[in-house]
Amino acid sequence: MQKKEPIHSVQVFGRKKTATAVAYCKRGRGVLRVNGRPLNQWEPKMLMDKLYEPIYLLGKDKFSSVDIRVRVNGGGHVAQIYAIRQAISKALQIHADVNQRNLVVRVQEHATKNLTVKVHWIFCYALGYTK
């Protein structure tokens, strides 16, 4: 049996209320853009931690070899931020584990148990594994 080639690009979506974000993830240099703008230029600034949550939890090393481009429309600013966060999480998880399709959450060593459980449920919800 031939070994499967790894998938080089993944396209996933995240939703919150009426906001829909479509993330396109491929091998690259670590570029992360939302609607053509860098992630740090997104508004409102008070919710920037929500956008950076997948980056903080999974570590920058996961982002150094992939480019993620996100298109978002519909909903308000807050719903768009949650949709973007979900799309980024899904894209990284599926891009990393596309052949196994498992839910192994690789969290940085200093993370606490509660944080690990929270991250696990974010990925479960994003991938549709909840009832």
pLDDT of residue 106: 42
Tell me which of 40 and 115 has the higher pLDDT. 40
Contact (Cβ atoms closer than 8 angstroms) between residue 23 and residue 91: yes
Domain residues of the chain, as ranges? 9-127
Task: Inform me whether the pLDDT recorded for 49 exceeds 80.
Answer: yes
Q: Among 2-6, 18-22, 27-31, which stretch is predicted with the lowest mean pLDDT?
A: 2-6
Rounded to whole angstroms, how far apart are CA atoms 124 and 43? 27
For residue 38, which of 28, 52, 20 has the smallest C-alpha distance?
Answer: 52
Q: pLDDT for 68-82, tens place per residue?
A: 999 999 999 999 999
**Which CATH architecture describes the domain 9-127?**
2-Layer Sandwich (3.30)
Tell me which of 109 and 31 has the higher pLDDT. 31
pLDDT of residue 124: 56
Rounded to whole angstroms, how far apart are CA atoms 112 and 78? 27
Q: pLDDT for 88-106, tens place per residue?
A: 988 887 776 653 443 344 4
Task: Inform me whether the pLDDT recorded for 107 exceeds 70.
Answer: no
For 111, half-sphere exposure in the C-beta direction (CA atoms, 13 angstrom radius) is 19
Contact (Cβ atoms closer than 8 angstroms) between residue 19 and residue 75: yes
Percent of the chain past pLDDT 70, that is, above it, reads 66
Task: Inform me whether the pLDDT recorded for 115 exceeds 80.
Answer: no
